[in-house]
Amino acid sequence: MSAAVRLLTLGGTIFMTEETADGHARPDDLAGARLVASARYGVSVSTHPLANVSSSDVRPHHLRSALELAREAVDAGAQGAVLTHGTDTLEESAFLLDRYWDREAPLVLTGAMRPASAPGADGPANLRDAVRTAVAPSARGLGVLVVFDAQVHLADQVSKASSRSVSAFSSFPAGPLALVHEHDVQLLHRPLPRRARLPGAPMDRLPSVPVLTAGLDEDLGLLDHLPPHELAGLVIAGVGMGHVSPAAMPRLRRLLAGGTPVVVATRIGAGGTSTHHYAYPGSEVDLLEAGAVMAGLLPPAKARLLLQALLADGSTPERIREEFAAYAS
């Protein structure tokens, strides 16, 4: 009989300890093993270590392995899967995995803000809550979820809101999806139906899509030194509702005329991009008329991953527009 939950581990702060000599946190395989062994899950859990790395070192091949192992587990009878992950890029991995997760069972990501050796370490509670969510009847069909500080977040909406607090994650615009209870999760709202998933799994290497940030006296001059053939696409973290300086527009028009997709997000944390409020040079209307795509509610990091995943799948410009239109604000 298979375990109720498959626990896959990629490390992160949850699997780190602080060195007594300098107080710095570093990966510790023994600490991770002790945490997994000592946690009180309430259900049967089997563990598969994938790596013990910081989240800045997580690569698409790690996520591909996690996706394949999670699929195998639920196909063999597991009620769900949990993946531990560092918090710095956890929202990005959750979002990318959700492009491909095509099972009814939940795939739940969690981690910790305090090392395993720290007083008040939050890892054990987060891990327990992630396992509870993975077997929760109300979590089925919701895709990839992030569980942190007893809250459940949708992969599309979650973001890291604090670099220090144990309540590190928040969701925009609807807030957390649910609260974790002992035998189920309490839904706070009903999400919209999930969009169709991409086939397969992430490539080991995603197409090259840099993110450039707009701002005061920033005309995206770096584009003059980036050969267009080396860019599969480009994401702009625009100001306001998705704007750039007028002087940046000739550079973006050259890229777009050459067939390079350009997606414009906003560097602002709430509100998303617009399609119609402003029509001055460098505004969203000007960018749309030049052929750019607006990211809507997606922040720049997630807009980049969606564009990369679509390009890897061979998507046409029309499909790219359609997929981003789902996040219009």
Q: Which residues are catalytic?
A: 13
| CA separation for the pair 164, 25 (Å, rounded) | 14
Is residue 78 within 8 A of residue 108, CB to CB? The reply is: no
* Residue 140 burial by Cβ neighbours in a 10 Å radius (0-12, 13-18, 19+): middle
| CA separation for the pair 219, 248 (Å, rounded) | 5
Q: Give 173's DSSP letter.
A: T
Alpha helix positions (H), 161-315: 249-257, 284-290, 300-312
Helix (H) or strand (E) holding 95: helix 90-98
Q: What token pair was written down for 327?
A: 């996040």
| CA separation for the pair 84, 87 (Å, rounded) | 9
Helix (H) or strand (E) holding 130: helix 123-134
How many separate helices (H) and strands (E) can be counted in the chain? 8, 16
Ramachandran angles phi, psi of 129, nearest 5° = -65, -35
Is residue 287 within 8 A of residue 266, CB to CB? The reply is: no
